[in-house]
Amino acid sequence: QAVFQSDIGTLLEQVGTGKESLSFMKRRIRRLAAQWASAARRLNDKLRNHWREQKRILVHVGFLTEESGDVFSPKVLKGGPLGEMVQWADILTALHVLGHNLKISVSLKELHGFLGVPPGRGSCPLTGPLPFDLIYTDYHGLQQMKQHMGLSLRKHKCHIRVIDTFGTEPAYNHEEYATLHGYRTNWGYWNLHSQQYMTMFPHTPDNSFMGFVAEELNETERLSIQKNKVNNMAVVYGKEASMWKGKEKFLAILHRYMEIHGTVYYETQRPPEVPAFVKNHGLLPQQELQQLLRKAKLFIGFGFPYEGPAPLEAIANGCIFLQPKFNPPHSSLNHEFFRGKPTSRKVSSQHPYAEQYIGRPHVITVDFNNSEEFDAAIREIMTTKVEPFLPYEYTCEGMLERVHAYIQNQDFCSPEAPFPPMNSSRVWLSGPPSPFTLLSNSSILTWASNATSYTSWPPLSALRLLASLEGQSCVKACQSAGLICEPALYRFINIKEAFSALDFQCEGVESEMNHLFPAFSAEHSECSLQQDLLLFSCAGSSAKYQRLCPCRDYRNGQVALCRDCL
Ligand code: UDP
């Protein structure tokens, strides 16, 4: 049984030393320890001694290994990306606090040691049983495991979870399909279950949302923030000088109203991109950045970096986040940064999570090229009063709750999971036990109780079947009904009865490999089922198809979990 542990001493020892990245993570773990401990107490009460199995977990942080080139560590103190380290520090803490048996590796040597691969026989397949129930790694680590575990990786891959900042869509993950249909990238095609990829924000329901945490405030801190807010103080988002390039015009408008602060890294001279009227503090330790954000009223992004942790920290400290809308949206099809990433996701602003999940009054997203709109937004911000806000899913308790639920319920290994074997779905095709009944809301169908003998997580009771509009993805279709697409439930709706339940008259039913299926094509009254279970995908749309979508409800502030998911 796993027992919550709030002492972080052993975790700090395990993280090791010798790299700036590891020191950064350890500082963060220490700083947030009390917050994690009280969250653990609250979750423990909430779960009321619910039995939790203790898992043997290996965390192999591939991007920090020398063998992957480790480009991040040398930049920790120089304005390089820190989001990944924030997230890994929080993942390690969550797993430790949940009381699992944790091993941490940041080099190939340690990886071999933990996996029991004999020294000097690095590419020799691991022959015995895998000594772990779960392995958390990243794309670099996955590649290293492939090289050094050889064939046995295939055998053990259901135990792997890939921490993948921006997400991987099923069409890119499926090797054969990606190759045939132009979805092949440098990263994808591992043929994992798409929910084995875990993202930094809930970008797409096809992947699992791992997340990270931001600092929480106590009552005294809240009061002192209220007292000390400076209405005309702005902090610019961007610790690297290049992020300020070409932004003089916006800075000049902003400077008409506000005192501007920056935390841009510099060595000896002030970077030329940062105008003289900006008060630049240089790169700050996380704790000091928090203090600066507590005084500031506005945190302003100029378009880069995308989707980082800092805006959540700013909003949690009572700032309003002002950011540019991207029209057209940025994606791997039109933007260098996303090119080659295994997703077609359209990024509608610098921080779509802030835009869509938080929104006004904490987040204002405008077209920066429209000076009037930009100007008006700044004036509005100076007079708007906001409370510090942190979505539950980014609190320690929220992250512990979510990671706990994944660890205890997600199962990609047992033969019944995540899908029934093909032959049992064939049995269903020829006559399932009349699975659908109509709810009072006739556009939404629900699974009848006679199907509850199938075990599933999220539970079948959460399933709501919907048809998308032509040209609409299941992500959007579920969203517009106030629900979220749940790929783990696709297997239950990939049957011909689902079409009749939605009043689609099928001239013919066929089964094909296509990430948009199951779907209905009005042109030929054709009903198409999904042939390859790894291709079930919430993302993706085509003007030709109305897609069948498995939607579910979600908890307020915890989109990863349905109401009956705990
Ligand atoms: N950060 C910091 N000092 C600074 C500016 C930022 O420690 O002067 C931290 C910040 O607290 C955040 C992390 O850097 O947790 C990552 O921030 P960002 O959103 O910029 O994402 P990145 O691009 O670094 O992944």
Least confident stretch, 65-79, 140-154, 374-388: 140-154
b (16+ CB within 10 A) / e for 284-313: eebeebbebbbbbbbbbbbbbbbbbbbbbb
83 ligand 1 Cβ < 6 A: yes
Residue 538 near residue 487, CB atoms below 8 Å: yes
Q: What is the pLDDT of residues 397-412, one digit of tens each?
A: 999 999 999 999 999 9
- pLDDT of 383 strictly over 80: yes
Task: Write out the two tokens for 263.
Answer: 């935390």
**Is residue 56 over pLDDT 80?**
yes
Tracing tokens 């135990």 back to the chain, one arrives at: 159
What pLDDT, on the 0 to 100 scale, is given for residue 120? 60
Find out whether the beta carbon of 239 lies less than 6 Å from any atom of ligand 1: yes
3-state SS class at 306: coil
Label residue 482 left, alpha or beta by phi (over 0 means left) and psi (-120 to 50 means alpha): left
255 CA distance to ligand 1 centroid (A)? 23
Nearest C-alpha neighbor of 511 from the set 492, 526, 490: 526
Closest Cα to atom 11 of ligand 1 = 286
Q: How confident is the model over 282-297, as pLDDT tens digits?
A: 999 999 999 999 999 9
The pLDDT value recorded for residue 149 is 80
For residue 465, the CA-to-ligand 1 centroid distance in Å is 40
Phi, psi of 306 (to 5 degrees): -80, 140
Contact partners, residue 337, CB within 8 Å, separation at least 6? 304, 306, 330
376 or 119, which is more confident: 376
Ligand 1 atom 12, closest CA:
310
Query: What backbone phi and psi angles, to 5 degrees, belong to 287?
Result: -60, -40
Band (230; pLDDT cuts 50, 70, 90) = very high
Is the CB of 76 within 6 Å of ligand 1? Answer: no
Ligand 1 geometric centre to CA of 82 (Å): 5
420 vs 475, residue with greater confidence: 475
Contact 301 CB / ligand 1 (< 6 Å): no
Distance CA 170, CA 535 (A): 5
pLDDT in tens, 200-210: 999 999 999 99
Substitution site in 24, 27, 75, 82 for ligand 1 pocket (most atoms within 8 Å of beta carbon): 82
In whole angstroms, what separates CA 529 from the centre of its chain?
28
- How many percent of the chain have pLDDT more than 90? 84
Q: 57-66, 185-194, 258-267: which has the minimum mean pLDDT?
A: 185-194
pLDDT band for position 454 (cuts 50, 70, 90): low
Nearest ligand 1 atom, CA 237: 20
Q: State the Cα–Cα distance between residues 239 and 213, nearest whole angstrom.
A: 20
Coil, strand, or helix at residue 461?
helix
Q: Secondary structure of 261-294 in the HEC alphabet? A: EECCCCCCCCCCCCCCCCEECCCCCHHHHHHHHH
Residue 234 CA to ligand 1 center (angstroms) comes to 16
b/e map 329-343, b = 16+ CB within 10 Å: ebbbeeeeebeebbb
Helix axis angle for 33-47 and 83-97, nearest 10°, is 50
For residues 401 and 405, what is the distance between their CA atoms, to the nearest angstrom? 6
- Evaluate if residue 343 carries a pLDDT over 80: yes
Q: Ligand 1 centre from 346 Cα, in Å?
A: 23
Q: How far is the CA of 389 from the centre of ligand 1 (A)?
A: 18
Going across the sheet that includes 134-137, the strands are 101-105, 56-60, 134-137, 160-163, 197-199, 208-209
- E runs forming strands in 281-424: 298-301, 320-330, 347-349, 363-366
Alpha carbons 183 and 243: distance in angstroms, whole number:
30
Mean pLDDT estimate for the chain: 91
CA of residue 39 to ligand 1 center, whole Å: 23
| CB neighbours of residue 101 within 10 Å | 14
Give me the percent of the chain exceeding a pLDDT of 70: 92
Distances (CA, A) of 363 to 199, 306, 316, 319, 334: 22, 15, 12, 9, 25
Describe the crossing of helices 83-97 and 20-31 by its angle, rounded to 10 degrees.
50
Q: Tell me which residue has its CA closest to atom 9 in ligand 1.
A: 286
CA of 352 to the centre of ligand 1 (A): 17
Is 509 a pocket residue for ligand 1 (Cβ < 6 Å)? no
The minimum-distance atom of ligand 1 relative to the CA of 265 is 8
pLDDT tens digits, residue range 106-154?
A: 999 999 999 887 766 556 667 778 999 999 999 999 999 998 887 788 8
Contacts of 554 (CB under 8 A, 6+ apart): 483, 484, 560, 561, 562, 563
pLDDT at 228 over 70: yes
- If residue 208 lies in a helix (H) or strand (E), which one and from where to where? strand 208-209
Q: In this prediction, does ipTM exceed 0.90?
A: yes
The per-residue pLDDT for 36 is 98
Which of the four pLDDT bands, split at 50, 70 and 90, describes residue 368?
very high
Check residue 123 and give its pLDDT. Answer: 60
Per-residue confidence (pLDDT) for residue 426, from 0 to 100: 32
Give the pLDDT mean for 369-375.
96
| Nearest Cα residue to 195 out of 458, 5, 11 | 458
Q: In Å, how far from its chain's centre is CA 305?
A: 16
Report the distance separating Cα 97 and Cα 4, nearest Å.
Answer: 5
Mutate to test the pocket of ligand 1, among 78, 85, 286 (most ligand atoms within 8 A of CB): 286
Shortest-distance Cα residue to atom 14 of ligand 1 = 82
**Ligand 1 in reach of 81 Cβ (< 6 A):** yes
Mean pLDDT value across residues 528-542: 96
Query: How many A from CA of 85 to the centre of ligand 1?
Result: 10
> 353 by DSSP, 3-state: which?
helix
Is 50 exceeded by the pLDDT of residue 166? Answer: yes
pTM for this predicted structure: 0.94
